[in-house]
Amino acid sequence: MIMKPQVLAIFTLATLTSATLPSYAQEIDERDATGSTSQTQKIFYCDTSQEIPRTFMTVQIDSDQLKPLPMINWLSQYFESEDEALSLCHEVSQKLQGLYEAGELNSLSLVAGNVGDEAVVFIGEETETDCQRVLFTLDTDEEPKKAFNQLLTADFKPARVRGDFVTRLDFSLFNLL
């Protein structure tokens, strides 16, 4: 079954351009000096060391400096419970990392919208009519785009323009590993 989002509530919140993501071939099969395969770098991961679980994205600042940036704060008020927020932090981070490792993450647009009567965040474009790649469901009466904007951290939060959110945030100034 193909889910169709309601056009009014669709909102693109984050876009990673292909220029910022390294190719899958660059990451896999890297070998250290001893010839053993090094572990694949985690680009997306869930951090639970603080009170609120957060999904991080690791970016390359320059040729020798990596920096993890918090991307999503999993605030429990937008989910059924704190346990669900924690579980989603791990699940969504793993989904994004899996897409990256499979070479399917050349660009990324996270879209918040309504599918039927559910508020969801999915991978897609705001102009798409189906959203088969749902990342997670929000449990809120708030507009999905406003709720998701509250979950985004300052580094990934779009600026407001004339009282509304801009529809796209370009990360071309960051380089991922």
Give yes or no for a contact between 96 and 122, defined as CB atoms under 8 angstroms apart.
no
Q: Is residue 62 part of a domain?
A: yes
Q: What is the pLDDT of residues 120-138, one digit of tens each?
A: 998 876 555 556 788 999 9
Q: What is the pLDDT of residues 49-60, one digit of tens each?
A: 999 999 999 888
Domain that residue 136 falls in: 17-25+51-176
Determine which helix (DSSP H) or strand (DSSP E) holds 98, and give its type and residue range. Answer: helix 82-101
Give yes or no for a contact between 3 and 116, defined as CB atoms under 8 angstroms apart.
yes
- Picking from 115, 134, 139, 114, the residue whose alpha carbon sits closest to that of residue 123 is 134
Q: Is residue 170 part of a domain?
A: yes
Q: Is the pTM of this model over 0.85?
A: no
Residue 81 has pLDDT above 90, yes or no: yes
Tokens standing for 123? 């991978």
Give yes or no for a contact between 67 and 58, defined as CB atoms under 8 angstroms apart.
yes
Q: Is residue 88 part of a domain?
A: yes
Q: Count Cβ neighbours within 10 Å for each residue of 70-90 and write b for 16 or more, e otherwise.
A: bbbbbeeebbeeeebbbbbbe
User: Rounded CA gap, 64 and 98, in Å?
Assistant: 25
Beta partners for 112?
Answer: 11, 121
Q: Is residue 32 part of a domain?
A: no
Q: Is residue 39 part of a domain?
A: no
Q: Total domain count for the chain?
A: 1
Query: Between these two residues, 103 and 92, which has the higher pLDDT value?
Result: 92
Q: Is residue 73 part of a domain?
A: yes
pLDDT at 31: 34
Q: Is residue 36 part of a domain?
A: no
User: Rounded CA gap, 41 and 83, in Å?
Assistant: 27
Q: Is residue 30 part of a domain?
A: no
Sign of the C-alpha dihedral computed for residues 91, 96, 98 and 99 taken in this order: positive
User: Rounded CA gap, 80 and 139, in Å?
Assistant: 6
